[in-house]
Structure 1
Amino acid sequence: MNPWPHDPVIVLGNGPVGQTAALLLARWGVPTVLLDLRRSRDLVGSKAICQQRDVLDVWEAVGARVAAEGVTWDTARTYYRDTELFSVRMADAGRSPLPPFVNVSQSRTEQLLDQRIAGSPLIDVRWGHRVTEIDQDADGVWVSGPEFRLRAPFLLVCAGARADGLRAGLGVSFEGHSFEDRFLICDIRAELPDWARERRFYFDPVWNPGRQVLIHPCPGGEYRIDWQVPPDYDASALAADTASGALDQRIRQIVGDTAYEVTWSSVYRFHTRCVDRMRVGRVLLAGDAAHLYAPFGARGLNSGVADAENAAWKLAFAGWDGTEREALLESYHIERHAAARENVAVTSATMDFLVPQTAAEAAHRRDVLARASADSAEARARVNSGRLYEAYWYAESPLTTPDPTRPHPVRPPRGVAQAPAPGVLIPDLPLETGGRLREVCRDGLLVLVAPGGGPGAVRVAELAAEELAPVPARAVGMAELSAELPGVLGARGAEWWVVRPDAHIAAVVTDEAELRAALRRAIGHPGEPATHGAPVGPGESGESSKEGSDGVLPAAR
């Protein structure tokens, strides 16, 4: 593999989204400078704790075994007062060895990612670097602070929710709103074995009347409890409750006489905001710098990691190509802004149900919950305690070739997996030769050859090489990987399945002309011939509402 032909990419923000992006870029052989304004890492509190299977899979790809560190849970229970309304078990379209969700503190996740970064010579971490100005021209980006000025071919901004100055300097808006109600969070250590593998959500429990409580198990015998509290509850109120014993009473109403220890507590408000652009020239925005969601559904960090993966392979391919692929870079904004808009819609609907703003909305919620507790299936379906994070589907991305023979993907009921189709994340399976399907997918573009006749993997590999150089591509027979794979995918006859480096299905085609066009389209060159050059591959180191004509994809729910 030839050396990266540019200066290092700059990643701004050494939180889990920036860490992930740097590690993924290193996996493609791309050096990065990872900047953070803090002097060191702040390893306090649980913060973002719910990590979903597809995100765990990304971290596995860079050697960070986050799944092994967390508390696995596969059931989410929802209650109205003391009546269980329903439980949801997370479905898997394939047979992934990774759990549906694990709970692990953000601090521990950051430590595990730091360990991987420390072993990569391609990542240069620099603490105490406050970026005050970003300038760009046709050839690169200048990143400046009080005592430094750096040049990069691309900049990925993962600087968190407080990056107002950077967003303003880039000319992007961050519209949305903040919720008045506040939430009190406590991490406690206690022995509660019956709750050790479940997420529990309570509407209007007797120990928090008129409001909600959410309880999550965490490693080390810890539990995180979130209480919805009045809008005027703040840090001083928390301090007063701690001193008076009112906080102890809150906790005792949940855990009873069990001994416990508070390890961290805080008060916070929820925000829903989204930038109008996630790409400005050579600058991409990711994670909380681009979007903020209420946490019910665990869509914050999980979505940020998906941003990082989408950005990493596209920056790598754009830089290696030499033509810097305008369409490929723009697809980052199109795809991930659509994902952000969907998350805004999903979490806003949840907050409308959790925190009704009018008397009519409050009456509607009481009616739905009462009917749900009386065993009305129709009412239970209307109870919204937060739809848990799912990978976004790029069904209408400019990189995706539609398949008119397969139904257009729509979000199924909660707890149900969507059948594979173009735009959908491919199911994972263990392979007969060892390893997993997703691991094979993440080495470049992959063409899976169905066992139904037509040109085999050798011919498909030749076509891919002709169309995609210098982008790495591989063709392989489905049955060679796993006897289960054709059935899991629903492959028919002589089909070729094109899979992107982020494991999303880009196309299902049946002839060579379609395959050539689908391969070009998958890397942002629809209808254009390939540009040939040196190959590149992973490094050793590592519901729907149509938007207007602004390039935003429909938000599928």
Structure 2
Amino acid sequence: MDPVIIVGAGPVGLSLALALARQEVPSVVLDEGPGKDEQRPARTVVLPEETAALMERLTGAPLDEYGLRWTGWRSMRRKQVMREVVFEPAGGQQERGGGYGDAESRRNPVDDLGVAGGPAPLHIAQHVLTGALREAIAGERLVKVAVESRLDLLEQEPSGVTARTRAPNSTWWRGSYLVGCDGPRSTVRKLLDIRFPGRTAVERHAVAALRTELPWAGEALLHRTPPWRTSGPSGGEVTARPLPDGVWRLDWLLPPGKDLVTPELLVARIRETLAGWHEGTTPAYDLLDTGVHIVHHRLARRWRAGRAFLAGDAAHLLGALGTQGLDEGLRDVDNLAWKLGLAWHHDGPHETLFDSYQAERRAAVAARLRAADQALPLLRGGRGLRSYVPGSARGHEALLANGHLGHGPLGAPGTYGGSTLAPAPTEAAVPVGTEPGAPVVDVRVTAEDGSFVRLRDRLGRGSLLVVLVAPGTGVWERKHWVSAGIMPRLAAAVTALPHPAELLVAESYPGTAPHTVLLIRPDGHLVTALGGVRPADLYQAAKATLGGPAEEKAAANAG
């Protein structure tokens, strides 16, 4: 079968190529550039732990070596410290690099403003992230990168797609599917005649990357109303995020309009901000890079047209109030890759499976855009939030901090509870700490070879995951319990599923009773939780997850 054609060699396109390769699916990446990225220290990304873990799985490298996890988050109004969260492992000693403990030890305390706790996000320069992805692809036999290859024609037929790149490397490419990861001005989207409505210049930020010392080493900072800048509804809001080697990215919210940000104006902002944080004295600093970041909010009408798909900035743009566009692009990859992998390896109609990509991901991004659009005039105008934005009753600082930390209506990952892939309700389903369709919690599990691994490490291989919650198994060798109790019956049920699945065992999972069985999608979203071993119900749920019809019975697997 022909490879998948991926148009665009940014983080989303390269990640998709690696995600497909993990499922033994070949791809061709059409890179309109020379195959390397401009080093821009002021162009950085913030990844919540889920997407940071995805990047580490795909690159095979601990990204903590290249980026920095915040040791804390500080929200300030004028000189008053509103909150401080310190991310510390059990025992109280802060860890850096790749040596984090289990999921619970990475959770921060919940503060008195009600800002949700969670693992520390990863802050990393985008060119460093892209470089790690390119390095991983260099050794990947299933990925071909075609440089200086700009798409200019796309044709589809029932059996595949054909793409043409223009000179200097004019070539015809044949593929099974095509995914446009080619950014806001997507050629793929234009060739598919897909509208891209939304709002232009929702926010503007002046950005600087500099090496200096700040009073809050390793902590991200949101200063909403600095006393030295009180003009305008925002009061000159400034955000500081740490990077390795003493480098900081600073963002200043600019007033609406198109006023030119001159080098002199930006240097003046740097000096007054640093002086404000250092009791009036400007410390030494080394200015590395500057820029102006303009935030647009747009959402493509369709994300799929036949065998062609959109992902990342080609499908959506967001970024106001702490939301992160690349984070959502990588979730697109996680959602689409296993569906393309399943279709590539198995002939047959996959309309329900493919349509679910648009339905699930577009709804998730639309929810974040709606939350930001609702909150934006209220936050910037200083009006009350309680009656307007769900989850915002504790105030402006809590809502904004949650957005930056990846929680709440502005920052939380999307759930797929209403997906067309959700199985029909059954009496065997039981409630657990994770709602169906939501991402699962990263607990320690025992793999089939008896090794202890993180649940998240088993994702992204194209297989379903079946997790039995069995307290006490962690203290015994696998050989002592693998053939005891309900394990043989569950193992037989997993083997009989309509798609490859891996059986794992966890000592505990939030909100579950002993002998609960969790069925998890390859992208880490919970399908269902069953009370005990129910082969027929497990089979039905798996069948629905793969886009097949929901079956009331699976007689061949009911034993």
- Give the TM-score normalised by the residue count of structure 1: 0.80
Q: 1:151 is matched with which residue?
A: 174
Tell me whether 1:57 sits opposite 2:53 in the alignment: yes
Instruction: Quickly say closer, same or farther: Cα 1:497–1:247, change in 2 above 3 A.
Output: closer
Q: 1:290 is matched with which residue?
A: 315
1:428 and 1:406 map into 2 onto residues whose CA distance is 24
Aligned pairs for 1:322-471 within 5 A: 322-356=347-381, 362=382, 364=384, 378-379=394-395, 384=400, 387=403, 388=406, 389-401=411-423, 419-431=433-445, 433-443=451-461, 444-451=463-470, 456-468=486-498, 471=499
Residue 215 of structure 1 contacts residue 225 of structure 1 at CA under 8 Å; is this kept in 2?
yes
Tell me whether 1:7 sits opposite 2:35 in the alignment: no
1:329 and 1:181 map into 2 onto residues whose CA distance is 34
Following superposition, the deviation at residue 529 of structure 1 comes to 11
Following superposition, the deviation at residue 102 of structure 1 comes to 1.6
Alpha carbon RMSD of aligned pairs, Å? 3.3
Following superposition, the deviation at residue 126 of structure 1 comes to 1.3
Residue 274 of structure 2 contacts residue 283 of structure 2 at CA under 8 Å; is this kept in 1?
no
Following superposition, the deviation at residue 31 of structure 1 comes to 0.9
Residue 430 of structure 2 contacts residue 529 of structure 2 at CA under 8 Å; is this kept in 1?
no
Residue 48 of structure 1 contacts residue 301 of structure 1 at CA under 8 Å; is this kept in 2?
no
Q: 1:230 aligns with which of 243, 246, 255?
A: 255
Q: Any stretches of 5+ residues in structure 2 without a counterpart?
A: 89-100, 108-118, 472-482, 554-559
Which digits, 9 at most, give the CA deviation of each residue in 1:97-126, with x for residues without a partner? 795212111111111111111111111111
Aligned pairs for 1:98-109 within 5 A: 100-109=120-129
> Could you tell which deviates more after superposition, 435-444 or 209-218?
435-444
Following superposition, the deviation at residue 87 of structure 1 comes to 4.3
Q: 1:545 is matched with which residue?
A: none
Secondary structure, counterpart of 2:321 in structure 1: coil
Tell me whether 1:524 sits opposite 2:524 in the alignment: no
Secondary structure, counterpart of 1:348 in structure 2: helix
1:302 and 1:137 map into 2 onto residues whose CA distance is 32
Q: 1:73 is matched with which residue?
A: 70
Residue type of the partner of 1:438?
A: R
Secondary structure, counterpart of 1:517 in structure 2: helix
Residue 97 of structure 1 contacts residue 430 of structure 1 at CA under 8 Å; is this kept in 2?
no
Following superposition, the deviation at residue 403 of structure 1 comes to 6.4
Residue 13 of structure 1 contacts residue 35 of structure 1 at CA under 8 Å; is this kept in 2?
yes
Residue type of the partner of 1:496?
A: V
1:120 and 1:14 map into 2 onto residues whose CA distance is 15
1:407 and 1:75 map into 2 onto residues whose CA distance is 39
1:97 and 1:403 map into 2 onto residues whose CA distance is 35
Q: Percent identity?
A: 28
Following superposition, the deviation at residue 214 of structure 1 comes to 0.9
1:110 and 1:529 map into 2 onto residues whose CA distance is 46
What count of residue pairs does the alignment treat as equivalent? 490
> Could you tell which deviates more after superposition, 456-465 or 58-67?
456-465
Following superposition, the deviation at residue 292 of structure 1 comes to 0.7
Residue 141 of structure 1 contacts residue 282 of structure 1 at CA under 8 Å; is this kept in 2?
yes
Following superposition, the deviation at residue 425 of structure 1 comes to 1.2
Residue 86 of structure 1 contacts residue 380 of structure 1 at CA under 8 Å; is this kept in 2?
no
Tell me whether 1:475 sits opposite 2:496 in the alignment: no
Secondary structure, counterpart of 1:334 in structure 2: helix
1:504 and 1:89 map into 2 onto residues whose CA distance is 28
Secondary structure, counterpart of 1:49 in structure 2: strand
Following superposition, the deviation at residue 329 of structure 1 comes to 1.2
Q: 1:37 is matched with which residue?
A: 32
Following superposition, the deviation at residue 266 of structure 1 comes to 0.7
Q: 1:269 aligns with which of 274, 291, 294?
A: 294
Residue 237 of structure 2 contacts residue 253 of structure 2 at CA under 8 Å; is this kept in 1?
yes
Tell me whether 1:47 sits opposite 2:72 in the alignment: no
Aligned pairs for 1:127-138 within 5 A: 127-138=147-158
Tell me whether 1:503 sits opposite 2:524 in the alignment: yes
Q: 2:342 is matched with which residue?
A: 317
Q: 2:114 is matched with which residue?
A: none
1:226 and 1:29 map into 2 onto residues whose CA distance is 41
Secondary structure, counterpart of 2:223 in structure 1: strand
Following superposition, the deviation at residue 278 of structure 1 comes to 1.4
1:199 and 1:449 map into 2 onto residues whose CA distance is 39
1:322 and 1:132 map into 2 onto residues whose CA distance is 29
Secondary structure, counterpart of 1:489 in structure 2: coil
Q: 1:22 is matched with which residue?
A: 17
Instruction: Quickly say closer, same or farther: Cα 1:54–1:213, change in 2 above 3 A.
Output: same
2:67 and 2:228 map into 1 onto residues whose CA distance is 29
Q: 1:86 is matched with which residue?
A: 83
- Give the TM-score normalised by the residue count of structure 2: 0.80
Instruction: Quickly say closer, same or farther: Cα 1:273–1:503, change in 2 above 3 A.
Output: same
Secondary structure, counterpart of 1:50 in structure 2: strand
1:47 and 1:456 map into 2 onto residues whose CA distance is 52
Secondary structure, counterpart of 2:539 in structure 1: helix
Which digits, 9 at most, give the CA deviation of each residue in 1:429-483, with x for residues without a partner? 2346232122234441011234499983443343344341xx321224x2xxx42
Following superposition, the deviation at residue 7 of structure 1 comes to 1.1
Bigger RCO (CA 8 Å, 6+ sep): 1
Following superposition, the deviation at residue 393 of structure 1 comes to 1.5
Instruction: Quickly say closer, same or farther: Cα 1:237–1:428, change in 2 above 3 A.
Output: closer
Residue 158 of structure 1 contacts residue 287 of structure 1 at CA under 8 Å; is this kept in 2?
yes
Instruction: Quickly say closer, same or farther: Cα 1:126–1:196, change in 2 above 3 A.
Output: farther
Q: 2:110 is matched with which residue?
A: none
Residue type of the partner of 1:70?
A: G
> Could you tell which deviates more after superposition, 442-451 or 10-19?
442-451
Instruction: Quickly say closer, same or farther: Cα 1:226–1:490, change in 2 above 3 A.
Output: same
